[in-house]
Amino acid sequence: MDKSTIRPFVMYFIIIILVMGIIGLIIGQLSKQYVTGSIKDRLEKEGAYVIEVLDQEAPPFEETVETISTELELGVRLYSENTEIILDTVPQILHVSDEEMDEIERAISEDHLEWQEEEGFLLINDFYLSAMRVQTTGFSGILLLIVSAENSSQVMNTIWVLIFSVMAVTALIMLFLGVNILDKYVKPVRAAAHTARELADGNYNARIYEGHYGDAGELSHAINLLARNLQEMTLQSKIQNNRLQAVVDSMGSGLMLIDEKGYINLVNKAFLDSFSGKTSDYIGYLYYEALSYEEIHDVVKDVFMTENHVQKTIVVSKGIERRFFAIFGAPIFNERNVWKGTVLVFHDITEMKRLEEIRKDFVANVSHELKTPITSIKGFAETLLEGAKDDPKLLDEFLTIIYKESRRMQQLIKDLLELSKLEHDEFDLHIETISVRNIVKDVLSLVDYLANEKQIEIHNQIDKDLYFDGDSSRIKQVLLNLLTNAISYTPEKGTVTVDAEENQEELVLMVKDTGIGIPEEDLPRIFERFYRVDKARSRNSGGTGLGLAIVKHIVEAHHGRIEVNSEINKGTVFYIYLKKNFTKY
């Protein structure tokens, strides 16, 4: 039994004791008054009887009074008008001791009774005294009757025993009833209150013991039923919320929900990734406080004002990167067609914009690259037709130029077809185990003549056998493009170095030169089609501007990656990371 139960139980027990004690005292007092009143009535009746005898008897009447005193066990004392004792049967009838008699005399002498003027009734120790004035023909004076209180004391003791017995039995019965009420009603109600508080605090696993009967049992059953229903509803709601949150967070587009007052109620993971920040930076804030883009403010305002779908494109700067978003705003209505807010969807169209720019650049670049040789061929052919063919020297010179331009066109078309093939979904690699030393040796033999023309030294620093899985012809194409570029952009008497190293999972091929380098701002774009750092020099060197784009596609087809470091007038290093164990996935 806990403190919260013991305290009211003790108070209940104390109240029972106090109530029963008060009732016992009242009953005892009433009983005492009843006994005293009975004795007083007896003394009054017996005194009247004695007075009647005195009135009828002629003196001497002492013998008659003594006889009455003996029969009634009543002490009688007669006082004359001057308070002299005429007759006294008290000592022999009541066997009063001298000490008790002295106390009775002292009480009488202290005028507790006004014997001369009125009658009185007095309890002294264990004796009741009653005084009466007598005025008869044979006697005139005071009649004092004394009776023992021993019998009344026994009666009172018996009454007190009965009272305490009844009180004790009643207290036990009430205690039993209190325990029964506590067990059947108070405890269930307290348990129900505790369970209700747990439910209010969100603990829907709380239950109450249902072993009670009557109203308490129905209350316990009702609370447990409520708890089970709340638990099921909460579980279903949690499942629905988790599903909704999973769907919302899995969306590839950003999502924001704004209520009818303009406060943000929901943002998903895609939105946070796009606009940075945490959920707490947006939820609960007004949309124009959390977002600094006026275009978004305009979309929300337009939706609020028109209650129609609104679409707008914005540009978001994230560091040095610029991202494009198409915003779709729509109003939210409930089933009663009451306005509840606005939903904004942010589609990232950066890649679409980039592809659109690439397409435009590609068409422009291809047109430009083809226009130059075609114009040259057409011009020189027209010159020859106009009579220059008759000059053998001009004929040879013009035919040579036409041949070079046609080869340039052929190479450009070949590279375009090659790039298209690499980007095609059906492009397949012929995987085999490749020796790095052998494949580098084969590629260097193809570019030695170019290096010799510019007196460029090529250093092969691969001094041990390294192996990896890949398509040997495609890897040769990668190395050939990189080495050709390194030789083309390295001044005479420069150096080009080929090296390789490995770790547990990857092989790293490195092509390093001491050439003119690449400006830092151009590094992110060197793998784009037709992009040239030095356009005039690239075109004069015979390049098509597609070599690095082809290299990147081949490396990515091998599930690898390519990186570049460069400093102006110090050189460039290309790093090719390839998986040692190729897995097609």
Of the candidates 451, 258, 401, 226, the residue with the CA atom closest to the CA atom of residue 343 = 258
pLDDT at residue 113, as a whole number: 44
| Tokens of residue 64, six digits | 């008659």
Asked if 499 and 512 touch (Cβ cutoff 8 Å), the reply is: yes
Asked if 502 and 579 touch (Cβ cutoff 8 Å), the reply is: no
Of the candidates 412, 407, 449, the residue with the CA atom closest to the CA atom of residue 547 = 412
Asked whether residue 259 is assigned to any structural domain, the reply reads: yes
Q: Which residue do the tokens 């397949």 mark?
A: 428
Same domain, yes or no: 66 and 117: yes
Same domain, yes or no: 435 and 568: yes
Rounded to whole angstroms, how far apart are CA atoms 465 and 362?
41
Asked if 343 and 255 touch (Cβ cutoff 8 Å), the reply is: yes
Same domain, yes or no: 257 and 324: yes
Asked whether residue 176 is assigned to any structural domain, the reply reads: no
* Segment (H or E) for 88: strand 85-88
Same domain, yes or no: 236 and 259: no
What value does the CA radius of gyration of the chain take, rounded to a whole number of Å?
A: 62
Asked whether residue 186 is assigned to any structural domain, the reply reads: no
Same domain, yes or no: 302 and 411: no
C-alpha dist (Å) from residue 537 to 92, 194, 410, 465, 582? 161, 87, 20, 37, 38
Rounded to whole angstroms, how far apart are CA atoms 280 and 293?
19
Rounded to a whole number, what is the distance in angstroms from the first to the last CA of the chain?
69
Whether the upstream peptide bond of residue 519 has omega within 30° of 0, thus cis, is no
Domain holding 386: CATH number? 1.10.287.130
CA torsion 402-407-408-410 (nearest 10°) is: 130
Of the candidates 483, 473, 488, the residue with the CA atom closest to the CA atom of residue 512 = 483
Same domain, yes or no: 460 and 364: no
pLDDT at residue 382, as a whole number: 78
Q: Which residue do the tokens 């947006």 mark?
A: 282
DSSP string, 404-448: HHHHHHHHHHHHHHHHHHHHSTT-----EEEEHHHHHHHHHHHHH
* Segment (H or E) for 269: helix 269-275
Of the candidates 82, 76, 90, the residue with the CA atom closest to the CA atom of residue 140 = 82
Asked if 503 and 580 touch (Cβ cutoff 8 Å), the reply is: no
Of the candidates 185, 194, 199, the residue with the CA atom closest to the CA atom of residue 233 = 199
pLDDT at residue 575, as a whole number: 92
pLDDT in 10s for each residue of the chain, 585 residues: 556 566 666 776 788 778 877 887 887 777 777 777 777 777 778 777 777 777 777 677 777 777 777 777 777 877 777 777 777 777 777 776 767 777 776 766 655 444 433 445 666 666 777 777 777 776 777 777 887 766 666 777 777 788 788 778 877 887 777 777 766 766 777 777 777 787 777 777 777 776 666 676 777 778 788 888 877 887 787 777 777 777 777 777 888 888 888 898 888 888 888 777 787 788 888 888 888 888 888 888 888 888 888 888 888 776 556 788 888 889 988 878 888 888 888 888 877 877 777 666 666 656 656 666 777 777 778 777 777 777 777 778 778 877 777 776 776 666 666 656 655 555 567 788 888 888 888 888 888 888 888 888 888 888 888 888 888 888 888 888 888 888 888 888 899 999 988 888 888 899 999 988 888 877 777 777 666 665 544 444 445 566 677 788 788 888 888 888 888 888 899 999 988 887 655
Domain of residue 340, residue span: 251-346
Same domain, yes or no: 112 and 213: no
Q: Which residue do the tokens 């006994």 mark?
A: 35
Rounded to whole angstroms, how far apart are CA atoms 78 and 89?
9
Of the candidates 217, 55, 82, the residue with the CA atom closest to the CA atom of residue 142 = 82
Rounded to whole angstroms, how far apart are CA atoms 393 and 399?
10
Rounded to whole angstroms, how far apart are CA atoms 454 and 452?
5
- Strand, coil or helix: what is 203? coil
Rounded to whole angstroms, how far apart are CA atoms 55 and 333?
117
Same domain, yes or no: 332 and 415: no
- Strand, coil or helix: what is 363? helix
Rounded to whole angstroms, how far apart are CA atoms 214 and 146?
64
In sequence order, the β-bridge partners of residue 77 are 88, 144
Number of domains composing the chain? 5
pLDDT at residue 530, as a whole number: 61
Asked whether residue 182 is assigned to any structural domain, the reply reads: no
Same domain, yes or no: 122 and 237: no
Same domain, yes or no: 23 and 147: yes
Whether the upstream peptide bond of residue 60 has omega within 30° of 0, thus cis, is yes
Same domain, yes or no: 455 and 570: yes
